Chains A and B, each alone.
Chain A
């Protein structure tokens, strides 16, 4: 399959699920062509609510819809959703409303639009809210199954999606297992935990490391919260060193989640790869190189870490 953005896979999945699950309703805030909720909007106009550029009202309305038995998907760029954090905190999390928050345009991978449109602190913030799960799929098949899981399971969720197209990582017979990490490649010297758009680059990095005689295990963490504690500890025991890779600020994201588990259970050295500053404009490729998220840079960081 050609590379596909997880936001596109999401749009397709939602369109299909709309048929099966009549309680699904979708809200968007003037970004339906970007979040891909437009597919659902066209097929089920009576169950789609265009809220205009008013994310706070969209999230609160979604909470109300959920309280009355609907399954609302509220969509915007991840950065604009977390811009209404306190509304999410009260109306969704603390109310325990069954709202599915869909934040697209994750990370510096969006490229030229620059920092203002990049979700870079969203995992950290959403992870801090009790009740809210955080899911970030890494390819088409995983996204589609994740969306179905989310739609059919009660509870608030933050789903983080990419603007950029992603290569397939999982096999065609893949089964999404909420809360469980996926070992994509085995290895004994180090484990690389990756999530979302950078899983593929982490796999490429592991191949490159193989040539240097470094055996790297690669684990895809699609459910960042609740994180697969058992697997994280097991990998630390088996490979000793741990690296985390994410297109997100290194504060509060996957790296932090992994370190929290390890420091309480089995402390080992961890190297976090992620964004340490604001993002900036540039081509996605140039940005990944500059910020160390391309396969070559990941391999280099792992090599230095293992020295």
Chain B
């Protein structure tokens, strides 16, 4: 591991702070699903993909496809913290002429790997990249993050059917199982349970974890790399809006930006979390 768990937690909290600031300045966007996937992205980009400006378009790089494109503020913040895009640029989110489109646009910003935002398409793209990796005998891995509501799309299940056929052990799908979508709870809108059983029945290696626990995320990603002959699906249980008390598990915060007052409260909470982590770090030293 390059970073301690504590360091990763600190990074994650900084990313959450940036997400709130970005959405507030943009005046629109999706906080709930951006905040729920932060630990997953940080674990991937800091410990596995290890994205840098130098490898950002390297043909041999590990890929990350954000199939749930509306969570892209989290990805932009991650790319900025990894130095791939200038930090200040994240505050141009959703503004006219910005490369940081409301949903990922590969035309504008190649580092997002694929244009997404219409749910259900990312896993197929990830599968294609993984297949090419097999043909070319490359060592790169392909990660794909999906929403739990997104799991209702038929195309997702077409890809779930095909990836094991092609023995894509270089493919790792992760579902951000935050229990919410727009019209309500996933279980009420269109239940996807028993999800783990379904995925196993489709011949995936399935690992169920707490998607906010770095140790669990990292050990699942390690296991995924070791499993040969089949793709891995990580079912990551998360909390929608994680980190901001009034956004947590609240459908209202799926797709609206915090106003100035709400931003102040959210940032205060997150900064307290950050200070707590920083003081833990002082103690460790």
**Residues of A in contact with B (beta carbons under 8 Å apart):** 28, 30-34, 38, 50-54, 56-57, 79-80, 83, 111-117, 278, 280-283, 286-287, 290
Contact = CB atoms under 8 A, between A and B. Distances in A.
A50 B190 contact: yes
6 closest Cβ pairs, A-B complex: A52-B190, A116-B117, A282-B96, A52-B152, A114-B102, A116-B103
A139 B181 CA distance: 31
B189 A115 contact: no
Nearest to B107: A278
Nearest to A280: B101
B102 to A, nearest CB: 4
A114 B189 contact: no
Contacts of B149: 30, 52-53
A33 B103 CA distance: 20
Nearest to A113: B102
Contacts of A80: 118
Contacts of A38: 183
Contact of B97 (A32, A54, A282): A282
Given A54-B153, A54-B190, 16 more contacts: A30-B183, A34-B182, A53-B119, A80-B118, A111-B28, A113-B94, A114-B102, A115-B101, A116-B115, A278-B105, A278-B107, A280-B105, A280-B108, A281-B98, A281-B101, A281-B102
- Most chain-A CB neighbours within 10 Å: which of B116, B149, B153? B153
B26 A50 contact: no
A79 B118 CA distance: 9
B27 interface: yes
Contact of B189 (A50, A280, A283): A50
B120 interface: yes
Given A54-B154, A113-B102, A114-B101, A30 B117 contact: no
B26 A112 contact: yes
B233 to A, nearest CB: 18
A84 to B, nearest CB: 9
Interface in B119-158: 119-120, 149-150, 152-154
Interface string B169-199: 0000000000001110000011000000000
A282 B97 CA distance: 8
Nearest to B28: A112
B102 A57 contact: no
Contacts of A30: 149, 152, 181-183, 189-190
B147 to A, nearest CB: 8
A256 to B, nearest CB: 24
Contacts of A113: 28, 94, 102-103, 117
14 contacts: A30-B182, A30-B189, A30-B190, A38-B183, A53-B152, A54-B153, A114-B94, A114-B117, A115-B105, A116-B115, A117-B117, A278-B107, A282-B97, A283-B96
A53 B103 contact: no
B118 A57 contact: no
B200 interface: no
A32 B182 CA distance: 8
Contact of A53 (B27, B95, B117, B120): B120
A109 to B, nearest CB: 14
Given A115-B105, A116-B115, A33 B182 contact: yes
A27 to B, nearest CB: 12
